[in-house]
Each structure stands twice: as C-alpha cells, then as structure tokens.
Amino acid sequence: MYAFHRFPDDSTWHLWARNTDRLRRIDGTWLLTERVLVPIDAQPDWDLIDSAWFRSHPGRQSHDDLRSQLDVAYRSLAQDGEGM
C-alpha cells in the first residue's frame, strides 16, 4: 500500500508498506484475526521513525548507499560501452 502525510510546512512524507494478515477458520467461515502493518520504505527519511521499524527488511540500506551503488554500476556500464 502507499500512504502519504502532508505536513503544515507543505512537505510530504511517503510510506510504502504491506499488511500481513492472519486468518482463522471459525464455524466454517474465514475471519481476519490479526493485521500487522509491515513497512517497506519511506521517503524522505524521518528522524522520528527508528530504522528498526522496517523489520521486514533486515540489512535495509539507506537511499544514499543505494544511489552510490547505482552510480558505480552506471559508470561501469558506460566504460564497457566505450569500446563498442
């Protein structure tokens, strides 16, 4: 799911998450007995939210780390394409 929060200063915080549901069959009918919000990512990073909240993704990397890795990959692809 996607959600956003607009703040009084007009900035916006974006959240991507999924629900993990637990169902139980009671008297022949499936009933939702538990729903847990499992966050996947958020933009921008918000200092009020501990990164441990993203428990579904151990080893989750910061966006800066991911951008750095992409930069390295793009440079490598550009160099490989020079001889073509």
Q: Does residue 22 lie in a domain region?
A: yes
Q: Does residue 33 lie in a domain region?
A: yes
Q: Does residue 7 lie in a domain region?
A: yes
What count of other Cβ atoms lies within 10 Å of the Cβ of residue 42? 20
Place of tokens 């921008």: 44
Number of domains the chain contains: 1
**Structural domain range at position 36:** 2-58
Q: Does residue 80 lie in a domain region?
A: no
Q: Does residue 76 lie in a domain region?
A: no
- CA 50, distance to chain mean position in Å, is 13
Question: Sorting pLDDT into bands at 50, 70 and 90, what band is 76?
Answer: confident
Q: Does residue 31 lie in a domain region?
A: yes
SS (H, E, C) 42-64: EECCCCCCCHHHCCCCCCCCCHH
Q: Mean pLDDT throughout 61-81?
A: 82
pLDDT in tens, 12-63: 999 888 888 999 999 999 999 999 888 888 888 777 777 777 765 656 677 7
